[in-house]
Amino acid sequence: MTLPEIKCKPPHLPPPPPNHPTVEPSETSQNPQPDQPTQPKHGRKQSRSIQDGRESRYIMFPIAIMYYFGTNLDNRFSVPGFWPKPEETHKIPFERDEIKAELERLRRKRLEKRARRLEGERHE
């Protein structure tokens, strides 16, 4: 048994490239001249200035927000008297006598708290 012969169309072949040896290059030159404007490939005309405006908006918006909220912070968000003055802060003792005096003060404070706590337990 023989198979029937199937006749197919040949596949569609693209036209030869412009620099094909059978065609003169000057006849098929599709390159626009320098004085002719090029059209966008997507079919719609959109000027570059619109794109530049959009890009600059995306870049400048966060910078403007940071500038607006980031300047003059000391005057906007300061609370008078919030930070202690240098004479009100703790001073770390470095001299031997100062260290002994500080340890003695802490010992007295601890013993006073203990005495108050024991006195409160006796009354209960």
Residue scoring higher pLDDT (72 or 37): 72
What would the two tokens of residue 20 be? 């094909």
76 CB-near residues (< 8 Å, 6+ apart): none
Res. 77: pLDDT tops 70: yes
pTM comes to 0.32
Res. 33: pLDDT tops 80: no
Residue scoring higher pLDDT (75 or 118): 118
Convert the pLDDT of each residue in 81-100 to its tens digit. 888 888 888 888 899 999 99
30 CB-near residues (< 8 Å, 6+ apart): 18
CB 98 within 8 A of CB 91: no
